[in-house]
Amino acid sequence: MEDTDTFAAVTEAVKNADVVSMLQKIVATSTQDEEAEEIREKIQNVLDRYNDMSEGEKGVFVEQLKEALAMKLSMKMQENFAEDASYLPLWIAAFVVVFILVFFGYKLYKSIKEKEIKREEKKKQKQSKKKK
Residue 117 has pLDDT above 90, yes or no: yes
Q: What is the model's pLDDT at position 1?
A: 45
Instruction: Average the pLDDT over 64-89 and give the result.
Output: 76
Query: Cβ(47)–Cβ(24) under 8 Å?
Result: yes
Query: Cβ(58)–Cβ(23) under 8 Å?
Result: no
- DSSP per residue over 46-88, as a string? HHHHHHHS-HHHHHHHHHHHHHHHHHHHHHHHHHHHHHHHHHH
Residue 121 has pLDDT above 70, yes or no: yes
Q: What is the model's pLDDT at position 82?
A: 66
Higher pLDDT, 10 or 101: 101
Instruction: Average the pLDDT over 18-35 and give the result.
Output: 77
Taking every pair of Cα atoms in the chain, the longest distance, rounded to a whole number of angstroms, is 115
Query: Cβ(50)–Cβ(61) under 8 Å?
Result: yes
Higher pLDDT, 3 or 119: 119
Instruction: Average the pLDDT over 93-113 and give the result.
Output: 95
pTM of the model: 0.47
